[in-house]
Amino acid sequence: MESAAVIGVGITRYGRITDRSFAEIAFEAAWEAMRDAGVDREGVDLLVVGNVGGWSSEPLPAVTISEYLGLDGNGSMRVEAACASGSAAIKVAADAVTSGQSEVAMVIGVERMNESPVTNVVELIGRAGNYFWEFENFGLTFPAYYALYANSYMQIYGAKEEDLAEVAVKNHYYGSLNPKAYFRQRVTVDDVMKSRYVAWPLKLLDCSPITDGAAALIVTSEGKAREFTDTPVYIRSIGTGTGTSNISRRDDLLGFDAVRKAAREAYRRAGIDPSRPHRQIDLALVHDCFTIAEVMAYEDLGFVRRGEGYMLVKEHQTYIGGIVPVNTDGGLKAKGHPIGATGVGMAVEVVKQLRRAADPQRQVDVRNGVALTHNVGGTGHYAYVAIYSI
Amino acid sequence: MSDRGSKIDEFIKLFLNAIEVEKSRRGLPLITDEKTNDPLFFDQRELRLRYLLPIKGIEDFFEGLVKGEVRYTRCKRCGRKYFPPQPDCSSCGTREMEWMRIEGTGELLTFSKVVVKPTSYLHYDDYIVGVARFPEGFNVLAWVRASDVSELEMGTPVRIEVERRQPENYLTYVLVPTKLGD
Ligand SMILES: [Zn+2]
């Protein structure tokens, strides 16, 4: 089957943004992507918006954005897959262009989380499990969900809090090299260990920040891509999976079945050897909403055997120069995690890296011309794994 | 009970007063962001959310709580057991379920202490949540009755008990560590 092609990308800085509104940050990312693709606003025939909202003021984000961008009144929708909404939006657009339903589609991921007080944001994300059985009575929070996994993982595999901290050290290092990242300062294991507990055993510096930001892609079919650009990046496959709503209904709390399923599908359809996927890819952008999440991602994606993920980062194997560079943009941890924008922001980084146009100190060596994104919604509730290539 | 909730109420009151002063001065609900000095419009519409949840299909669960029991459902056709209880069988698509009481002693699989809390939980002290595996064949997620995570480990035996949650004053359930041999 024909692939979809990304022909333009745009991204705002990530952070706590108080000078631009919801539509205004979408505008920045979208117009940058249109200029990059050489597509004008009349040329976009489908708008797919990845956004979760609730904490921000626009309940019909696709409509608000369509008007503000000056699009032609063509079809639009908001797509929700929690923190993987951006990847879900990419899937909708990719399916639309490969099926011929759309010629040129725009994907925008956008979130403005800082329009609400912090505790309300903590509440709204905490509600993103099973509402009645886990939130109503027990007040689970997003960090607490991942803390349940972290505690289980550490007890069974013998990893320590210091080992998880290595993920924060790596991702803050790359964040320091990314002008668009929320956190630009480097941190040490000691800094992470000294930060206060948010949900034991996870500490503040184990967590990604509450973030505002937007990212955009222009997508067309493989056959049409060269009419627009000499540097298309193809979406070879998008694998998907869904976990149980109640985390009490999972066999173990050491990794995500939904991700393993999504990875198997993505690898099969892109011709990646699932026993050594890292040998065929030049970089991976994984969903490190918490440090433990990146460690589990290594294992769920098959970069290492189960129980050995924490060793990979400890041995610097996921820095540039290791077996596979991971989160060269700073990841969710340092670049930031504007929920609905995150998956689109990962795609933007992948496209820039495969075009060899990333910031110089964090440009990976492009040998295979293949990259992976891993975007998880909730706590293994939604999973999207995608393979991109030049 | 934590006094954190009342401190936050106090902060909100000060914030709202400042807005009122600004409105009477210039007629605009504008504030200046503390960190960036950017002007922000303070939304004049407040929405309070509470849902009405249908529970007719699991009414037995709530009747059980009143009798001090925590109940689950079992499919009469395929035998699959459900906790949280549900009146429909996800395996065979039927609605022929029977109600049973959780009687066994579970084992803690994992736990965490929630320090940074959601708005509607700010009035509680830090709380411990855990997931326990029960011999009936399912896991239960609930608060764990312990004063700190240091009292717990993987495999700690727990029983499930009904408790009246305060200050809301309603019945729910909690995992209670038992001494071995209890
Ligand atoms: Zn059944």
Beta strands in A12-103 (DSSP E): 46-50, 75-79
- Flag whether pLDDT at B182 surpasses 60: no
Point out the residues of A that are catalytic.
Answer: 83, 337
Q: Sort out which chain A residues have CB atoms less than 8 A from B36's CB and list them.
A: 16, 18-19
Specify whether B86 is located in the same domain as B115.
Answer: no
DSSP for A339-353, written as a single string: GGGHHHHHHHHHHHH
CATH number assigned to the domain comprising residue A47: 3.40.47.10
pTM greater than 0.90: yes
Whole-number Å distance, alpha carbon A54 to ligand 1 midpoint, is 37
CA distance B28 to B43: 11
**Full residue range of the structural domain in which residue B30 is found:** 3-41
Specify whether B15 is located in the same domain as B66.
Answer: no
Question: Could you report how far apart the first and last alpha carbons of chain B are, in Å?
Answer: 30
The model's confidence at residue B181, banded by pLDDT at 50, 70 and 90, is very low
CA distance A94 to A107: 9
Number of separate domains in chain B: 3
B112:A123 CB<8 A:
no
Of B113, B143, B172, the CB nearest to A200: B113
pLDDT tens-digit series, residues A74-133: 999 999 999 999 999 999 999 999 999 999 999 999 999 999 999 999 999 999 999 999
- Flag whether pLDDT at A60 surpasses 60: yes
Report which of A120, A82, A100, A140 is spatially closest to residue A337, judged by C-alpha positions. A82
Strands A202-203 and A197-200: antiparallel
Please state the ipTM of this predicted complex: 0.94
Number of separate domains in chain A: 1
Whole-number Å distance, alpha carbon B99 to ligand 1 midpoint, is 14
CA distance B117 to A123: 8
pLDDT at B5: 63
Summarize the confidence of residues A368-385 as an average pLDDT.
98
pLDDT tens-digit series, residues A319-375: 999 999 999 999 999 999 999 999 999 999 999 999 999 998 999 999 999 999 999
In this structure, is residue B113 part of a structural domain?
yes
Range 42-81 of B in CB contact (< 8 A) with A: 43, 53
In this structure, is residue A371 part of a structural domain?
no
In this structure, is residue A103 part of a structural domain?
yes
CB A382 within 8 A of CB A82: yes
Q: Sort out which chain A residues have CB atoms less than 8 A from B107's CB and list them.
A: none
pLDDT at A74: 94
CB pairs under 8 A between A and B: 115
Contact of B113 with chain A, judged by CB distance below 8 Å, is answered with yes
Dihedral (Cα; A60, A61, A65, A66), 10-degree rounding: -50
In this structure, is residue B172 part of a structural domain?
yes
Specify whether B110 is located in the same domain as B171.
Answer: yes
In this structure, is residue A138 part of a structural domain?
no
In this structure, is residue B182 part of a structural domain?
no
B115:A200 CB<8 A:
yes
